[in-house]
Amino acid sequence: MTVIGKGEESGAVLEVEDLSVAFPTEDGLVRAVRGVGYRLDRGDSLGIVGESGSGKSVTALAVMGLLPATARVRGSVRFEGTELLGLPDARLSELRGSGIAMIFQDPMTSLNPVYSVGYQIAETLRRHNPGLKSRAARARAVDLLGTVGIPSPERRVDNYPHELSGGMRQRVVIAIAMANDPDVIIADEPTTALDVTVQAQILDALETARAETGAALVLITHDLGVVAGHSDRVAVMYAGRIVETGSVEDIFYTPRMPYTLGLLGSLPRMDREEERLTPITGSPPSLLNLPPGCPFAPRCPLRREACDTTEPALRKAGHDLHLSACHFADELVDTGAAEVFDAVGADSEALARFADTTTPPPHSTTAEEDSA
Amino acid sequence: MLAYTVRRILVSIPVLIASTFIVFLVVVNAGDPVANFATSRQPRPSPAAIQAFARHIHANEPAVQRYWNWITGVLHGDWGPSVQPNLDIGHDLFTRFRVTLTLVAAAMLIALVLAVVFGVFSAIRQYTAADYTITFFGFLFLAMPVFWFAVLLKQAGIWFNEQTGSQFLGTIGEKSPYLEVDTTWNEFTDRIGHLALPTITLALVSFASWTRYTRASMLEVLNSDYVRLARAKGLRRRTVMVRHALRTALIPLATVTALDIAIILGGAVITETIFQWHGMGEMLVESAATVDVYRTMAWLLLSAVVVIGFNLIADLLYAVLDPRIRYD
Amino acid sequence: MTDTEAAGSAGTQLPPTEHEFTITQRTQTQLVLRRFLRHRAAMVSLVVFVLILLWAFIGPHLWHYSYQKYTPDNSQAPSWKHPFGTNASGYDAYAQVMRGTQTSLKIAILIALGSTLLGAVWGAVAGFYRGFVDSTMMRIADLVLTLPLFAIALVISSRSGGSWYWIAAVIAGLTWAYVARVVRATVLSLREKEFVEAAKALGASDARIIFRHLLPNSLGPIIVNATVLVATGILTETALSFVGFGVQPPDTSLGLLVSQAQTAVDTRPWLFYIPGAFIIAIALTINFIGDGLRDAFDPRQQRVRQ
């Protein structure tokens, strides 16, 4: 398993190396994360993209040390040189909220309903700044609420979470995360549970948090659009591994892994003319019983014999900082999703069945039609 | 809040009236005190005596009228005629109520404290041997009939007394009829001794059910997002456990406790019967056996007030503890 | 674009499950059943309960002593002749416990059935119609809920003369309100679902929606509650019989047997412990079964292997 940029020397604020997480369940061992590695320098912005079940959230929780006690974690997670895995919880709790902070997905349930938002912000301030008096903490909480864009913070500070909208609650969570000037902020799907209109505001608030604290940001999402505007580097995860990583331009313009290609192709584009969508058929594999070979193979149009026998390693594809895990990455140079995946032909067939009017029968190979 | 409380109390009154009226109809039809009078006394009373008795307990008046007279009478402190001559129902009721109150309060307190301790412990140590043991005993106690357990405890108390050569654990009555050395301390320990076994008995079922409830509530809270966020903030484990988990998990328990009062009252009836306490339990059994309509109604009225009162307390408690619930 | 790619992409769809282990489709009922079967305590309890049921109802026909006829053996400890011993009057305790179990079970099951039937329909109607109907119906249910079960049952039962169906009716007449509450809550959440709208759009009558759509989908909580009611029923009935207001002699119930053995705990313990053990066994197995059913219908927790 290749590590992206060995970071023994200083500069790296967070280094994850060959991280594996497995959960024993009644049905067997679920291998949720299988050898993930990345490196964050000060002020970096990394986007981790993947479907549900790809292991992106579990990776984040492993870094924070918040997995249940039954989880089996192996590998290495180094924060500013200190190894985190294996640290006693008391030590870890010193780092959480001050060195590394985390933002969770659902703002409706992230805050304790019986305490005011100001109290919950002050709580983290006073935990990591023992001398801080409650009045000073409250004042700082008001400041933070203002920074994240909550109007009338001096009134809002005493509100209970249920008195705030989802967007505002998420801002409170961001305020809590940035309160102690962390060096790393991990945001686990911060906008997934919110309306699209609010999403942009939250992402802006995150940017503000980053700017104010100088923290590196790990933005975990399934939404490529979010990543496109807010990350410098991207890691694509599938079935518990990183299958492609590189700069945002690398990933979006020259993807080298069929899964990435498929993800891009399944996004509707407002800026291009009418293009057929090319969704990826099938569903992610069960992490209980991964067959040998590449986990994406069952859904991959490029699938060949090699794909079923050996799992491809994460290798250089193009240049040093662009890595992908596909045996046939080279074949994907200069291809678009439509050339690899089938467009959606089913729609028009279904329509034809329902329509009374005489619709011309769809062509059998739409790929042929679209390729230049 | 105050307005809400007042409103709730005012609304409770028609509920109380409707409830007691229905119960009155049921009680009046559930037994025939006149027939009982005619057949249970030795020597058999004369027809004239029977008639006098019937008039005395208003047996021939229409039910609605009887109810109305009774309920308005209660408001002046007149609880109606008992089949036992010279029995002041009201006075007797309140004396007995104090006796039962001691028992119920003690049992609820012990059950609550123990339930929180065991429930929380069980939740924190989920899936360990301790958790399984506590859960199993919880199931066992829930399945155990109160009366059977009471008799068992009574035997155990007698055995204990024999072993230690003392008379500490009283198994009969709520206090000894006389004390050799009558000091306040002796009176106090005497009471405690007599309180011990019945309290354990009565606390048993509530303890089992509240432990399960606490455990479930605590488990749910421990897996919640806000507890996870609290840990992600770097708060120490203990702080998270007490300030975030416990505080939130105990809210529903407070109301469940108050709402279980009806079940506890039922258990108190049985417990008092077995330990021969002169409380409300004995009163209910006696009045049902003697088909004493007014005495039974007095009992049921007081119990209805208690139940409705506790329901109100439960709601108010919820509002106090959980800021999401506000009645305005 | 090479030829191999074109051939590989155009039209061919590899079956996605070929590569992995297959998952068979199961109906809802099958899923529930499967989950229940995995719950060991519930399965064991089910077996034990069924055994007790069979023993109580079929046993008396196979046993040579009757619960009503006394034998010349007084106050004997358990032996081969009298597996549960005899009491002071010489009655065979084995026959008595069988009969007592039978009576108590009859009553408890009838309570569960009656209460569930009435409560489920009541709650479903209230939840479905909402508004004034709901308000009135639930006020009535709340009224019933303020009545202390045991006390009222005690008072009413003095009229019953000990007939078992009357006792069951009394207790069911008080416990239905709780079922109604639970079912109403379930129906309230169900009726917002799309399938109700769809049924209405297809022209289904109210009764049809209630009985063919809402109630069947509420079966989970209904069944769980029904099992709990059996346990409640047996504990309430035995308590009533214990204080003398339930089953009357010459018939017997487990509660009555314990009551009669109160003074004999030291001298003839078998008369006290055995009936008690049966009450506990029945209530315990029912509770485990109920727990298993609850898990089967709503498996929210994840069991993690140690």
Separation in Å, CA of C14 to nearest CA in chain A: 7
Q: Which residue has the higher pLDDT, A357 or C306?
A: A357
Q: Cα-flanking dihedrals φ and ψ of residue A131, to 5°?
A: -80, -5
- d(CA A148, CA A205) in angstroms, rounded, equals 5
* Contact state of A95 with B236 under an 8 Å Cβ cutoff: no
Give the orientation angle of helix B89-124 with respect to helix B129-143, to 10 degrees: 160
Separation in Å, CA of C243 to nearest CA in chain B: 8
- d(CA C31, CA B273) in angstroms, rounded, equals 48
Ordered by start, the domain boundaries in chain A are 14-221, 241-351
**A184 DSSP β-pair partners:** A100, A216
Q: Cα-flanking dihedrals φ and ψ of residue B324, to 5°?
A: -75, -20
Residues of chain A contacting residue B240, judged by C-beta atoms under 8 Å apart: none
- Taking the alpha carbons of C60, C63, C66, C67 in that order, is the dihedral positive or negative? negative
Instruction: Work out how many CB contacts closer than 8 A connect A with C.
Output: 64
CA nearest neighbour of A38 among A255, A218, A257: A218
Q: Is A53 an 8 Å CB contact of chain C?
A: no
Q: Is C19 an 8 Å CB contact of chain A?
A: yes
Q: How far is CA C184 from CA A111, B314, C88, C171, in A?
A: 31, 21, 51, 21
CB-based contact C86:C270 (threshold 8 Å): no
Q: Is A303 an 8 Å CB contact of chain C?
A: yes
pLDDT in tens, C115-149: 999 999 999 888 888 888 888 888 888 888 888 88
C-alpha of B187 from chain center: 25
Q: Region of C87 please: left (phi>0), alpha (psi -120 to 50) or beta.
A: beta
Strand pairing class (A82-83; A100-103)? unpaired
Residues of chain A contacting residue C2, judged by C-beta atoms under 8 Å apart: 331
Query: What pLDDT, on a 0 to 100 scale, did the predictor assign at position A371?
Result: 44
Q: Which residue has the tokens 């549900």?
A: A52
pLDDT in tens, C256-301: 999 998 888 888 888 899 999 999 999 999 999 988 888 887 755 4
Eight-class DSSP state of A290: P
Option in C8, C21, C305 nearest A301 (CB): C8
* Contact state of A124 with B248 under an 8 Å Cβ cutoff: no
Q: Cα-flanking dihedrals φ and ψ of residue A98, to 5°?
A: -120, -40
Q: Per-residue pLDDT averaged across C230-234, rounded?
A: 91
CA nearest neighbour of A123 among A96, A155, A87, A100: A96
pLDDT in tens, chain A (372 residues): 333 444 444 578 999 999 999 999 877 889 999 999 999 999 899 999 988 888 899 999 999 999 988 899 999 999 998 999 989 999 999 999 999 999 999 999 999 999 999 999 999 999 999 999 999 999 999 999 999 999 999 999 999 999 999 999 999 999 999 999 999 999 999 998 888 889 989 999 999 999 999 999 999 998 888 888 889 999 999 999 999 999 998 888 888 888 888 888 777 777 766 666 777 777 888 888 788 888 888 888 878 888 888 888 888 877 778 888 888 877 777 777 666 776 654 455 555 566 655 545 565 544 444 444
Option in B228, B229, B235 nearest A127 (CB): B235
- d(CA B286, CA B308) in angstroms, rounded, equals 25
Residues 190-229 of B with CB under 8 A from A: 224-229
Q: Is C161 an 8 Å CB contact of chain A?
A: no
Residue C80's identity, in one-letter code, is W
Separation in Å, CA of B202 to nearest CA in chain C: 14
Residues 272-291 of A with CB under 8 A from C: 281-283, 285-286, 289, 291
Peptide bond between residue B177 and the one before it cis (omega within 30 degrees of 0): no
pLDDT in tens, chain B (328 residues): 788 888 888 888 888 888 888 888 888 887 788 887 888 777 788 888 888 888 888 888 888 888 888 888 888 888 888 888 888 888 899 999 999 999 999 999 999 999 999 999 999 888 888 888 998 899 899 999 999 999 999 888 888 888 887 777 777 777 777 777 778 888 888 888 888 899 999 999 899 999 989 998 999 899 899 999 999 999 999 999 999 999 999 888 888 888 888 889 989 999 998 888 999 989 998 888 888 888 999 999 999 899 888 888 888 888 888 888 776 5
- Chains with 3+ CB–CB pairs under 8 A to C are A, B
Option in C156, C266, C272 nearest B30 (CB): C156
- d(CA A184, CA A178) in angstroms, rounded, equals 9
Q: Per-residue pLDDT averaged across C77-89, rounded?
A: 83
Q: Cα-flanking dihedrals φ and ψ of residue C78, to 5°?
A: -55, 140
* Contact state of A114 with B251 under an 8 Å Cβ cutoff: yes
pLDDT in tens, C46-66: 999 999 999 999 988 888 888
pLDDT in tens, B40-86: 777 788 888 888 888 888 888 888 888 888 888 888 888 888 888 88
Q: Is A42 an 8 Å CB contact of chain C?
A: no
Query: What pLDDT, on a 0 to 100 scale, did the predictor assign at position B244?
Result: 93
- d(CA A369, CA A362) in angstroms, rounded, equals 11
* Contact state of B235 with A64 under an 8 Å Cβ cutoff: no
* Contact state of B234 with A106 under an 8 Å Cβ cutoff: no
Q: Cα-flanking dihedrals φ and ψ of residue A266, to 5°?
A: -90, 0
Query: What pLDDT, on a 0 to 100 scale, did the predictor assign at position C7?
Result: 37
Helix H or strand E segment including A323: strand A319-324
* Contact state of B270 with C156 under an 8 Å Cβ cutoff: no
Sheet with A82-83: strands ordered across: A28-41, A12-25, A72-79, A82-83
* Contact state of B230 with A104 under an 8 Å Cβ cutoff: no
Residue B309's identity, in one-letter code, is G
Give the orientation angle of helix B280-289 with respect to helix C149-157, to 10 degrees: 20
C-alpha of A118 from chain center: 28
CA nearest neighbour of A192 among A170, A159, A168: A170
* Contact state of C280 with B27 under an 8 Å Cβ cutoff: no
Q: Is A371 an 8 Å CB contact of chain C?
A: yes
Residues 266-305 of C with CB under 8 A from A: 302-305
Instruction: Work out how many CB contacts closer than 8 A connect A with B.
Output: 75
Q: Is A25 an 8 Å CB contact of chain C?
A: yes
**A28 DSSP β-pair partners:** A25
- d(CA B174, CA B196) in angstroms, rounded, equals 10
Eight-class DSSP state of B244: I
* HEC string for chain C: CCHHHHHHHCCCCCCHHHHCCCCCCCCHHHHHHHHHHHCHHHHHHHHHHHHHHHHHHHHHHHCCCCCCCECCCCCCCCCCCCCCCECCCCEEHHHHHHHHHHHHHHHHHHHHHHHHHHHHHHHHHHHHHCHHHHHHHHHHHHHHHHCCHHHHHHHHHCCCCCCHHHHHHHHHHHHHHHHHHHHHHHHHHHCCCHHHHHHHHCCCCHHHHHHHHHHHHCHHHHHHHHHHHHHHHHHHHHHHHHCCCCCCCCCCCHHHHHHHCHHHCCCCHHHHHHHHHHHHHHHHHHHHHHHHHHHHHCCCCCCCCC
* Contact state of C276 with B296 under an 8 Å Cβ cutoff: no
Query: What pLDDT, on a 0 to 100 scale, did the predictor assign at position A352?
Result: 58
Q: Cα-flanking dihedrals φ and ψ of residue A319, to 5°?
A: -145, 175
- Best B219, B233, B322 member to test A by mutation, with max A CBs in 10 Å, is B233
Two structure tokens written together for B71: 């309920």
Q: Is B265 an 8 Å CB contact of chain C?
A: yes
State the complex-level ipTM.
0.84
Separation in Å, CA of A19 to nearest CA in chain C: 21
- Best A57, A84, A93 member to test B by mutation, with max B CBs in 10 Å, is A93
CB-based contact B32:B292 (threshold 8 Å): no
Q: Does the domain made of A14-221 have the CATH classification 3.90.420.10?
A: no
- d(CA C107, CA C113) in angstroms, rounded, equals 10
Option in B23, B26, B143 nearest C280 (CB): B143
CB-based contact A294:A300 (threshold 8 Å): yes
Euclidean distance between the first and final Cα of chain B, in Å?
6
Q: Which residues are CB-contacts of C217 (< 8 A; sequence separation ≥ 6)?
A: C190
Helix H or strand E segment including A82: strand A82-83
Q: Is C5 an 8 Å CB contact of chain A?
A: yes
Q: How far is CA A163 from CA A159, A197, B162, in A?
A: 6, 20, 63
Helix H or strand E segment including A177: helix A166-178
- d(CA B77, CA B90) in angstroms, rounded, equals 7
For a pLDDT cut of 70, what percent of chain C falls above it?
87
Two structure tokens written together for A79: 């924060």
Eight-class DSSP state of A310: S
* Contact state of B228 with A114 under an 8 Å Cβ cutoff: no
Separation in Å, CA of C225 to nearest CA in chain A: 28
Q: Which residues are CB-contacts of C37 (< 8 A; sequence separation ≥ 6)?
A: C43
* Contact state of A298 with C19 under an 8 Å Cβ cutoff: yes
Q: How far is CA A232 from CA A27, B229, C79, C241, in A?
A: 39, 27, 85, 78
For a pLDDT cut of 70, what percent of chain B falls above it?
99
Separation in Å, CA of C274 to nearest CA in chain B: 11
CB-based contact A46:A235 (threshold 8 Å): yes
Q: Is A367 an 8 Å CB contact of chain C?
A: yes
CA nearest neighbour of A96 among A122, A61, A72, A71: A61
- Taking the alpha carbons of C25, C27, C30, C35 in that order, is the dihedral positive or negative? positive
Residues of chain A contacting residue B248, judged by C-beta atoms under 8 Å apart: 112-114
Q: Is A102 an 8 Å CB contact of chain B?
A: yes
CA nearest neighbour of C100 among C305, C293, C306, C241: C241
